[in-house]
Amino acid sequence: FMKINNWYEKNFGTLPFKDKDTPVFKEKLVYSSYEKYLDGVKLNVDNNYLVPSIGTGLVLFIGEKENYGNTVIVSLNTGIDVWYSNINESIKLYDYVKEGELIGTSKDSTIYLVFKKDGNILNYEEYIH
């Protein structure tokens, strides 16, 4: 979808079903510490932390993932899938989110992130710093 979307926007502009009037929440990821967790990273954040999108892309999954809890998967324009876990989502399936926009709120003081491309797990340290 992202290849088609990028081609469409390059040739014709914004897709007609995109919501142009969404409120702006433009934040960077902030955490107090981190450690490796399964395929990704565990971030220590404030309780009820407002989780921003790390990049721009399409929401492809919302639901439970074993060992991660409630998870939102965003497929970024770069081809990387980012899992945001242990959150209460503020978005819907197939929403288009921009970098810095609100994904959801942490359920406690921990969120989990996983980065994948073409089914391969990526090094989280390249994306959280």
Higher pLDDT: 60 or 14? It is: 60
CA atoms within 13 A on the CB side of 17: 6
Torsions phi, psi for 20 (to 5 deg)? -85, -10
CA atoms within 13 A on the CB side of 34: 18
CA atoms within 13 A on the CB side of 6: 10
Torsions phi, psi for 127 (to 5 deg)? -115, -15
pLDDT one-digit tens code per residue, 58-100: 999 999 999 999 999 999 999 999 999 999 999 999 999 999 9
Could you tell me the pTM of the whole model? 0.80
pLDDT one-digit tens code per residue, 16-51: 555 545 455 678 899 999 999 999 999 999 999 999
